[in-house]
Structure 1
Amino acid sequence: MTRIAYFDCFSGVSGDMILGALIDAGLDLHQLNEELKKLKMGGYTLNAKKTTRQRISGTRFSVDADDDHVERHLKDIEKILDHSDLSDDIKDRSKAIFRELADVEAKIHNCSPGEIHFHEIGAMDSIIDTVGSLLGLKLLGIEAVYASRIPVGAGFVECDHGTLPLPAPAALELLKGIPIVASSMEKEIVTPTGIAILKNVAKSFGVMPEMKVGCIGYGAGSREMKIPNLLRVWIGDSEENQEYEEDEVILIETNIDDMNPEFFGYTSEKLLERGALDVFMTPIFMKKNRPGTLLSVLISPDTLDEMLSIIFAETTSLGTRIHRLDRKKLPREILTVDTTFGCVRVKVSRVGQEIKNISPEYEDCKEIAATQGIPLRKVYEDAKTAVRKLLKG
């Protein structure tokens, strides 16, 4: 039996909403505060108050800090973590989150991660949100985390860097590889810290895994909106005792024999960007021995309409076949590790408690190898070493 937390991000996500949801679901605030004292920081007070958003009750978590305007570099935050009494796994995960945030900001501003002045991210409340969320999951005994697709708002937001489009550049960069969905809200509904936390802890983003729900928590955002400004977490136990996980997927198939083959690559990229689980093409012979291509798209059930729209818009297909399938897969999780060369996402799969495979994200490794002029193989090896160290801790 596995203790599971599923974050339903129907109204977005932020660090304070994650902690608010966990507290609303039963995380003891006093126990959390005692664990956070291991940071040896001081100068802050934790607040958790019941409130409502669109008449739905939730918990609003906030931090009152004396140094709200302190600007910290990455090395300052890493020093705080290194000198803390936190467990090694919490230290490593926290550093990986802040390292990824620094890498993203550095890419956007065309500088090195060490040059980044953290403003909102380096403030006391963001450090508490990040470390506190990791501690909260541990204190609640959560063994596996999942999350829904992430909605993104539109419009513009004012920040220390000026007027930025939404999603903010840092948030959008962090959303690479995560299924997203458009929201009607013209507000900032996802924050870099919130995305970075979920990206570090969630095994996957999409449909909720099968479980017996035990408790539900709602973390309230700072303002009222047209929809309930809440992050919902469902906590429960999976009743599976086998070594694999199960879910439902849809396989879309269509035969195509009259399309420019160059269009298949673009269509495949677009489907994957919008959340397809896999896209593949198979050479086939059709009526009258005409050569053609079987386009196969594996998706989550909740993305069917969007995937069909893309297929009909981008290909010459006049119809598709829809197959609903039960899928069995080895448990896997996506970890973000801090390597010698930068942050890399790594997929780890298991058979029981034994690690079956460690697979660094190719695009992350390729970008590091290309920008730093080092062999791709070295980046892969360093990422695998970092994961093994993290899992042993």
Structure 2
Amino acid sequence: MTQAIYIDCHAGIAGDMFLAALVDLGADPEYITAELQKLPIDTFDLSFTKQVKQGINAQTLTIDFTEAHHHRKAADIYKLITESTLPERVKTRSTQIFTEIAQAEAKIHGMPIEEVHFHEVGAMDSIIDIIGCCLALEDLNIDSIYCSTIPTGHGRIHIAHGIYPVPAPATLEILTGVPLANFDVESELTTPTGAAIVKSLATHFGPMPAIIPTNIAYGAGTKDFDFPNVLRLVQFTASAAQQDTVQVLECQIDDMTGETLGDFLDSVLAKGALDVYYTPISMKKNRPAIALTVICELANKPFFEDYLLLHTTTLGVRSSTVQRRVLERDFDTLSTQYGDITIKIAKLGSKTIKIKPEFSDMRRIAHETGQPLHQLYSEISAEIHQHYGHLN
């Protein structure tokens, strides 16, 4: 069981909105400020105040600098983080976020990541927002992060390189592979920093999973609209048995050989699909065929749609978003007369409900000993029952 949050990006996301919402959730602003002030950065002051946005009482962040601040190269920021005394997970998460931004800017401007020197990464407020958010997550002991689809807005904005359409080039590049929401607002709703935070830290994108909320918080944006410009966080206790959302891709095929279909199954799993399977069907003109189903993470939908179209003979792919629920899984090693065997243990909350030997180990032993697999399963199952006792 771990602590988790769902980021509801109703009005988009920016670094200051996320940090303000985490403080509203209960993160200690004094701890965050004290840790940030240990870093060799410009002098600053953080203040958190409540503000009502279209009827929603939300936390607002203000950053004050006592002197003009300068921009830094991405390489300098990596060094700053590496040489700091920040907690290790804060270092890891902060580096991941800065890397997302640096990679996007490097691609856009055609330069090595180490040489990226631009306002979005180097600006002091971005450094404080990103590292501050990671400190707040650590203070709250948040392990898992879920996120809604991301609205970006539309229109035009002034950035360091001139007037550009919304979303800004870096924002759109960072959000590659992330599901976007259609929200018709002529304004920048999601910043490069906000995009990088969710791209780096969120493991699931889509509707809110089936959860029991334990805490709800709001972080306010600086702009005013005719809707609440707030970021909502929902805290809950998560386990691997929690519902989440996955993408199901399907197509029908009647003109591929068994050899090529078998090779495709191996290759798509190697590319990171959660599951893939074939179902025998009958198509028009009485043709025997198969229905090919690939299950993947929401963010990987575009990649696997392309992969299906490129590596099979199908002319189209159907797609649907579904809920799934899986048990929390653990592994143990059981010493038997045949050697060590990996045991898979499935739990629902704190209760163990299934224990079984790993099939690959069982198959290996059956081949080595010449013993029928079903007899081997009976022997090992008896040893499992003796060793682990009744399920609890």
TM range (shorter): 0.5 to 0.7
Do the aligned partners of residues 251 and 130 (structure 1) sit closer, same or farther apart at CA in structure 2, a change above 3 Å counting? closer
The code of the aligned residue for 1:25 comes to L
Task: Report percent identity of matched pairs.
Answer: 41
- TM-score (normalizing by structure 1): 0.67
Name the residue aligned to 2:203.
Answer: 203
Distance 2:321 2:235 in 1: 31
Q: Does 1:12 align with 2:12?
A: yes
Deviation sequence 1:127-183 (CA, Å, 0-9, x none) = 110001001011012121111111121111111110111111111111112111222
Say if 1:62 and 1:125, in contact at 8 Å, map to a contact too: no
Pairing 1:134-145 to 2, within 5 Å after superposition: 134-145=134-145
Say if 2:245 and 2:321, in contact at 8 Å, map to a contact too: no
Name the residue aligned to 2:179.
Answer: 179
- 1:67, CA displacement in angstroms? 4.9
The code of the aligned residue for 1:230 comes to V
- 1:328, CA displacement in angstroms? 2.1
Deviation sequence 1:253-286 (CA, Å, 0-9, x none) = 67688xxxxxxxxxxxxxxxxxx99898877432
Structure 2 residues not aligned, in runs of 5+: 255-272, 299-313, 330-344, 348-392
**Which of 323, 326, 333 is equivalent to 1:328?**
326
Deviation sequence 1:54-76 (CA, Å, 0-9, x none) = 12110111211245541211122
The code of the aligned residue for 1:140 comes to L
Name the residue aligned to 1:131.
Answer: 131
Pairing 1:226-375 to 2, within 5 Å after superposition: 226-238=226-238, 240=239, 244-247=241-244, 284-290=281-287, 294=291, 296=293, 326-328=324-326
Do the aligned partners of residues 109 and 325 (structure 1) sit closer, same or farther apart at CA in structure 2, a change above 3 Å counting? closer
The code of the aligned residue for 1:328 comes to V
Name the residue aligned to 2:50.
Answer: 50
Say if 1:121 and 1:127, in contact at 8 Å, map to a contact too: yes
Distance 1:20 1:231 in 2: 9
Name the residue aligned to 1:309.
Answer: none
- TM-score (normalizing by structure 2): 0.67
SS of the aligned residue for 2:58 comes to strand
Name the residue aligned to 2:149.
Answer: 149
The code of the aligned residue for 1:92 comes to T
Deviation sequence 1:358-384 (CA, Å, 0-9, x none) = xxxxxxxxxxxxxxxxxxxxxxxxxxx
- 1:290, CA displacement in angstroms? 2.9
SS of the aligned residue for 1:39 comes to coil
Indicate the structure (1 or 2) with the bigger Cα radius of gyration.
2
The code of the aligned residue for 1:167 comes to P
Deviation sequence 1:82-130 (CA, Å, 0-9, x none) = 3322123322322232222112101101122222222133111111100
Name the residue aligned to 1:36.
Answer: 36
Q: Does 1:88 align with 2:92?
A: no
SS of the aligned residue for 1:121 comes to helix
SS of the aligned residue for 2:37 comes to helix
Figure out how many residues of one structure are paired with residues of the other and give that number: 300
- 1:196, CA displacement in angstroms? 1.1
Distance 1:46 1:210 in 2: 35
SS of the aligned residue for 1:120 comes to helix
Say if 1:244 and 1:351, in contact at 8 Å, map to a contact too: no
Distance 1:279 1:183 in 2: 33
Say if 2:327 and 2:346, in contact at 8 Å, map to a contact too: no
Distance 1:83 1:325 in 2: 42
SS of the aligned residue for 2:120 comes to coil
